[in-house]
Structure 1
Amino acid sequence: MSRLLSTSLLWICVLAIVGSVVAGFVPNQAIDQTIQLILAFYLSVVFFRATFFFFGSFREKVEDYLLDRLPSTEYAKPMVSIIVPCYNEEKVIANSLNSLLNLDYPFYEIIVVNDGSTDSTAAIAEMVAGTAYKSSIQVISQVNQGKAAALNNGLMHAVGDVILCVDADSKILPGSLEAGIRHFRDPKVGAVAGFVEIANQQNWLLQLQQLEYLVGLNFSRRALSFMGVVPIVPGPAGLFRRRAIFQAGGFQSKHHMYAEDAELSLRILAAGWKVKSEEDLVAVTEAPEAIMPLLRQRYRWNRGTFQALMLNLKSLLFRSGWRGKWVGGYLFTESAITPVVNFCLILYFLTFFVREAGLHLFSKWYLYLLAVDILTTIIAVHGRGNTIRWIFLTFLNKVGFYYMLLTWRILSLIEEWQDKDMSWDKLERTGHMGKV
């Protein structure tokens, strides 16, 4: 925790230094005349966004309740093909496959696509396949072509009407398929986004990432689900209607994509399909246990998401229905505009604080945003227990962790605009995924 705090404080100090430098060039009157207006507008936007997410989350909860009341005979249980692309995953592949063999669902097959692994991944997968008792496991090997090509290869061998894509470092909870499949009784649903849980939460950095998953990813997806406009189906657990995948053109392997799950999700939305979210479709996955691997992961995520958005923005805005247009505008705002605005406002208020010692105004602004974050956290973690711990993590996030990731996000966006080369940085596996 000490390293996390020191790194977070370092980022704050850097921002403060920049703010103090800028303060020397900003006239006093300019600050006095604009500060209240900017603050009022910004807080209004934050309040509107939070209200929308609260309302959307409540609507989705009601819909989930109604779905749970339906008898199982009200919707079919189609054949599901589970595709697991893998590259050098010898530490985790057995745990992942064993979790899939324990799913509470009657009709499914498992297809493992070994993408040219140089370790014993394929041999371990074959060993698990030889002892499989509930479902068949087919192991396919190919030369290394990337995750998207591996997923497309798996699709060519799949027989199911519904496809579940699972990362090899993830374990799927037993009731996940049963929960996710129910959404496909709506013929307009093309995909269902699962929820992601971090398994190895033994330090503060991992717990802060879990908070980020719960509030920043899972909660927002739940809020967007009632309109069927969830923008990204996560790689660890994503259900797709087979017809929707093929109508969208499959996974993008021609371009060197770093967020193939996001890219396919956007094309499915552009094609007119709904994309829903299901909180009981759960993938338990590993996460970076140190700061530098985390920053490298987020660098790839940020650039990959923006890359996928820019590749599909024109079709979303001009060649799709209202859902595609909404997602295009929303995702561009969230991935490009909001981070820049937040970063600039932080510098602006640090400038004001350094120049005017305006602690009273700064503290009111900060406490308002912190209160919104805490309320969001309470709603997002409802039913998990230990609410005080989650509130403390929210405070810890707001005093450093968030600003560190925000600064890194700005840097990654700048390098994406500059089209700098990027390589796929693979997270070092530990095998610490616990029991499912």
Structure 2
Amino acid sequence: MTTTTPSRGRRRAPTRIERVAGRAAALQKPRVILALLLLLALTSIMLLDGYLRAEVGGDQRVRTGAGSGDVPDEILDGGPILTFRGGQATTVSVPDKTIALTFDDGPNPTWTPQVLEILEKYDVPGTFFVVGSMVSRYPGLVRDLVDQGNEIGIHTFTHVDLSYQSDARVTREITQTQLALAGAAGITTTLFRAPYSSKTDAIDNYSWPVYQNLGEDGYTSVFIDTDSDDWKRPGVSKIVKWATPSKNNGASVLFHDAGGERSQTIKALPKYIEKMKAKGYTFTTISGVMGSQGPTAGSPVAGGQGSTLQAAHREATGATLYEGKALIAAVAVAEWTVPALSVGLMVVGVAVLGRFGMMLVLARRHHRQRNRRRFRWGPTVTEPVSVIVPAYNEKECIANTLQSLARSTHPIEIIVVDDGSTDGTSEIARAAADSLGMRNVRVIRQENAGKPAALNNGVRSAGHGIVVMMDGDTVFEPDTVRQLVQPFADPEVGAVAGNAKVGNRNTVIGAWQHIEYVMGFNLDRRMYDLLRCMPTIPGAIGAFRRDAVLEAGGMSEDTLAEDTDITIALHRAGWRVVYEEHARAWTEAPGSLKQLWSQRYRWSYGTMQALWKHRKSLTDKGPSGRFGRVGMPLVVIFQIVTPVFAPLIDVFTVYSMIFVDFRAALLAWLAVLAVQLVCAAYAFRLDREKYRYLLMMPLQQLAYRQLMYLVLIHSCVTALTGGRLRWQKLKRTGEVGTPAGVR
């Protein structure tokens, strides 16, 4: 065993790279916050859109015979307009031969414009009781309603039955609808009609307090005398018949301009208007009815017929107006974003399923090809190789690493490059080598300069033409090196990726990463190997031709992913990069979520840096351009774009469970999980792993994938804002010992 120690001098000044790294490190917390804010914004938009499109909580009203003992008889037997002038409940009836034409559930972009066209043709005003969520989505229709001289009333925000809701929910339904009206048309209104209401004789002890409270706030509650029942779609003639009041009585008549298919309503409405005009009826609004009974307190009826017909309207001003405009703007964003995300989900779904299908087909072919009895890379490689172990504060693991290398069945020299450790790593390495009687170990100490510099130092010091690189916290099986170097029998092979395994898989994070390594990494590598566009030689286990590495300029410090960087560089230099599944290395998964975040952030951001650095590979010609033509697009799609949008599956699942169909959404999510389980099970079969760890996969999809999503967003933000980080050291426990103990 030999030891090399750098000369010591005065403390050097920080390099430009180190200064940039320091500034980048200071920006990490804001970037994490920004990533979380992006997720929060997406969640808020989805919730807003769902709230607008579906009734939250559902309509739970069930008639239970509550009775109407609390409701005065004069109200039950009175007219369809309920007011509380001076705190006294009073009803107003529609005068004879007068029709107050009312419409519920709108506005709707299909049916409301057709209704307005009919009303304008016959010069008939209407009173539209609008749903606030629909107003928010179609504000232009509300402006058209008002500009045409029609009157607006509130029909709640989500079309919920208010009889069994809390006072806070009632207030919220009314207030939100008022804000929507203010933002859409610059008005508020004093008219209200409850969903699922009919005539005043249907008021019961549950609904009566709602009308009383709203009356105290100045609202006029509107009921009906005659119901067209057009929502039943009984036919045009029956709609006209049912909407016609008996004898010459006046009536508040109900139609619908939304809430379902309304083609029969559109056909019946002109026939109804013509019929009633032929009978000598006139049409007015609810305010018109109330104006004909004398001035209503607070109603500007003295300004002529137009102001009488819309007397319930108030001009929105101040905070109400601006909050309303903000609501409409937010809804507009949601209306654009959610459909766009839906399209994105479809694309992601196709990409994910396509990737799974490609991995299964190509991995199966790769496994059969490489495991044929007659398959050989060429003559058996028996020449000694150099194993380079970069180490920075690896006192917990370095002894296990050297112990595993001592059992190697292939002749090796070991070069431990201590990158300025402060925990005695080099001393522990020398002591371990002495205790094991290893004479093939060299320990080189250097000032802290980062992992790429440590690897380059090892490559320059290597005495053999093939170098194996591993991490200081990794252990090899006795046959690992021998298996790893056999592909070099093919003179076209410049580098070999080994099979990295998680040793501490009995922890939650370890189990999650174990699934990811077997399924995501090793199954991927089989696919990329067969396509001859392997993107990464893992830092835990990889082998290189020494001359190829030196010709490529060594391990670059330009990116955080020096392994991906050198792999792509070798592709571009014309070398072939392959995967050897039988060469196994055992590594330690992070022990905490913080360390996991740090590790995956480095990988994700480093991969982006390497892809950007080698972006010109897209235009490389000849065999050396294969990575740019095939590998680069696949890596961008499968490792960056798809993972960024993959959480849409979970987001839309939750969205659908809350606002659409819980059972269907759950079944769809389980179907996607089943596809992933099939792929994972096949990957475990190829690697001869135990299936019991797949029990952790549902939890992995719920928690681990969301964490990886945030890490990737963090990486994207970092890429957009600039910055770099040095070699990040994870805290290790040294619990991964001999390989036999972890299988």
Normalised to the residue count of structure 2, the TM-score between the two structures is: 0.53
Partner of 1:428: 731
1:245 pairs with one of 549, 560, 563: 549
Does 1:210 find its partner at 2:521?
Answer: no
Does 1:228 find its partner at 2:255?
Answer: no
Deviates most, 339-348 or 117-126: 339-348
Distance (whole Å) between structure 2 residues aligned to residue 390 and residue 122 of structure 1: 36
SS at match of 1:94: helix
Distance (whole Å) between structure 2 residues aligned to residue 91 and residue 29 of structure 1: 55
Alpha carbons of structure 1 residues 143 and 70: separation in structure 2 relative to 1, 3 Å? same
In the alignment, is the contact (CA less than 8 A) between 1:81 and 1:109 conserved in 2? yes
2:486 pairs with one of 182, 195, 208: 182
Given residue 478 of structure 2, which amino acid in structure 1 is its aligned partner? P
- Quote how far apart the aligned CAs of 1:228 are: 2.6
Structure 1 vs Structure 2: percent identity of aligned residues? 31
Partner of 2:105: none
2:354 pairs with one of 14, 32, 48: 48
In the alignment, is the contact (CA less than 8 A) between 2:604 and 2:715 conserved in 1? yes
- Quote how far apart the aligned CAs of 1:260 are: 1.1
In the alignment, is the contact (CA less than 8 A) between 1:164 and 1:237 conserved in 2? yes
Does 1:201 find its partner at 2:509?
Answer: no
Distance (whole Å) between structure 2 residues aligned to residue 80 and residue 426 of structure 1: 27
SS at match of 1:226: helix
Given residue 298 of structure 1, which amino acid in structure 2 is its aligned partner? R
Alpha carbons of structure 1 residues 351 and 420: separation in structure 2 relative to 1, 3 Å? farther
In the alignment, is the contact (CA less than 8 A) between 1:108 and 1:135 conserved in 2? no
Partner of 2:676: 373
- String of CA shifts for 1:280-300, please: whole Å, max 9, x gaps: 211111111221211122112
Deviates most, 86-95 or 18-27: 18-27
Partner of 2:696: 393
Given residue 127 of structure 1, which amino acid in structure 2 is its aligned partner? A
2:610 pairs with one of 296, 299, 308: 308
Does 1:262 find its partner at 2:289?
Answer: no
In the alignment, is the contact (CA less than 8 A) between 1:117 and 1:144 conserved in 2? yes
How do 1:49-68 and structure 2 match up within 5 A? Answer: 49-66=355-372
Distance (whole Å) between structure 2 residues aligned to residue 280 and residue 21 of structure 1: 52
Given residue 192 of structure 1, which amino acid in structure 2 is its aligned partner? V
Distance (whole Å) between structure 2 residues aligned to residue 32 and residue 410 of structure 1: 19
In the alignment, is the contact (CA less than 8 A) between 1:230 and 1:275 conserved in 2? yes
In the alignment, is the contact (CA less than 8 A) between 1:191 and 1:240 conserved in 2? yes
Does 1:127 find its partner at 2:154?
Answer: no
Distance (whole Å) between structure 1 residues aligned to residue 664 and residue 334 of structure 2: 15
1:170 pairs with one of 451, 464, 474: 474
Deviates most, 309-318 or 175-184: 309-318
In the alignment, is the contact (CA less than 8 A) between 1:83 and 1:166 conserved in 2? yes
Given residue 580 of structure 2, which amino acid in structure 1 is its aligned partner? E
Partner of 1:149: 453
How do 1:400-419 and structure 2 match up within 5 A? Answer: 400-419=703-722
Given residue 62 of structure 1, which amino acid in structure 2 is its aligned partner? R
1:97 pairs with one of 395, 402, 408: 402
Which gives a bigger RCO, structure 1 or 2 (Cα 8 Å, sep 6+)? 1
Partner of 2:389: 84
Alpha carbons of structure 1 residues 33 and 95: separation in structure 2 relative to 1, 3 Å? closer
In the alignment, is the contact (CA less than 8 A) between 1:194 and 1:280 conserved in 2? yes
Given residue 46 of structure 2, which amino acid in structure 1 is its aligned partner? G
Alpha carbons of structure 1 residues 363 and 185: separation in structure 2 relative to 1, 3 Å? same
SS at match of 1:321: helix
Distance (whole Å) between structure 2 residues aligned to residue 328 and residue 71 of structure 1: 29
Alpha carbons of structure 1 residues 401 and 71: separation in structure 2 relative to 1, 3 Å? closer
SS at match of 2:371: helix
Given residue 98 of structure 1, which amino acid in structure 2 is its aligned partner? Q
Partner of 1:20: 47
1:274 pairs with one of 576, 582, 589: 576
In the alignment, is the contact (CA less than 8 A) between 2:535 and 2:567 conserved in 1? yes
How do 1:335-374 and structure 2 match up within 5 A? Answer: 335-344=639-648, 346-347=650-651, 350-351=654-655, 353-354=657-658, 356-374=659-677
Given residue 366 of structure 1, which amino acid in structure 2 is its aligned partner? W
Normalised to the residue count of structure 1, the TM-score between the two structures is: 0.87
Alpha carbons of structure 1 residues 215 and 247: separation in structure 2 relative to 1, 3 Å? same
Given residue 408 of structure 2, which amino acid in structure 1 is its aligned partner? L
- Supply the RMSD in Å over aligned alpha carbons: 2.9
SS at match of 2:526: helix
Given residue 708 of structure 2, which amino acid in structure 1 is its aligned partner? L
Given residue 357 of structure 2, which amino acid in structure 1 is its aligned partner? T
Alpha carbons of structure 1 residues 119 and 333: separation in structure 2 relative to 1, 3 Å? same
- String of CA shifts for 1:287-333, please: whole Å, max 9, x gaps: 11221211122112111111122111223543642234312212222
Deviates most, 405-414 or 28-37: 28-37
- Quote how far apart the aligned CAs of 1:206 are: 1.5
- Quote how far apart the aligned CAs of 1:70 are: 5.5
- Quote how far apart the aligned CAs of 1:170 are: 0.5
SS at match of 1:234: coil
- String of CA shifts for 1:215-243, please: whole Å, max 9, x gaps: 11111112221233221101111111223
Distance (whole Å) between structure 2 residues aligned to residue 32 and residue 72 of structure 1: 52
In the alignment, is the contact (CA less than 8 A) between 1:56 and 1:225 conserved in 2? no
Distance (whole Å) between structure 1 residues aligned to residue 712 and residue 680 of structure 2: 22
Alpha carbons of structure 1 residues 32 and 328: separation in structure 2 relative to 1, 3 Å? closer
Partner of 1:325: 629
Partner of 1:140: 444
In the alignment, is the contact (CA less than 8 A) between 1:20 and 1:350 conserved in 2? no
SS at match of 2:695: helix
Distance (whole Å) between structure 1 residues aligned to residue 663 and residue 339 of structure 2: 17
In the alignment, is the contact (CA less than 8 A) between 1:198 and 1:285 conserved in 2? yes
Distance (whole Å) between structure 2 residues aligned to residue 193 and residue 236 of structure 1: 9
SS at match of 1:182: helix
Alpha carbons of structure 1 residues 432 and 158: separation in structure 2 relative to 1, 3 Å? same
SS at match of 1:381: helix
1:75 pairs with one of 360, 380, 388: 380
- Quote how far apart the aligned CAs of 1:430 are: 0.8
Alpha carbons of structure 1 residues 125 and 189: separation in structure 2 relative to 1, 3 Å? same
- Quote how far apart the aligned CAs of 1:56 are: 1.4
Does 1:114 find its partner at 2:141?
Answer: no
- String of CA shifts for 1:341-383, please: whole Å, max 9, x gaps: 32455545555554x4233553344233212101111101116
In the alignment, is the contact (CA less than 8 A) between 2:479 and 2:583 conserved in 1? yes
Distance (whole Å) between structure 1 residues aligned to residue 440 and residue 453 of structure 2: 22
In the alignment, is the contact (CA less than 8 A) between 2:386 and 2:468 conserved in 1? yes
Partner of 2:126: none
In the alignment, is the contact (CA less than 8 A) between 1:225 and 1:276 conserved in 2? yes
Distance (whole Å) between structure 2 residues aligned to residue 209 and residue 429 of structure 1: 15
SS at match of 1:114: strand
In the alignment, is the contact (CA less than 8 A) between 2:369 and 2:375 conserved in 1? no
Alpha carbons of structure 1 residues 19 and 411: separation in structure 2 relative to 1, 3 Å? farther
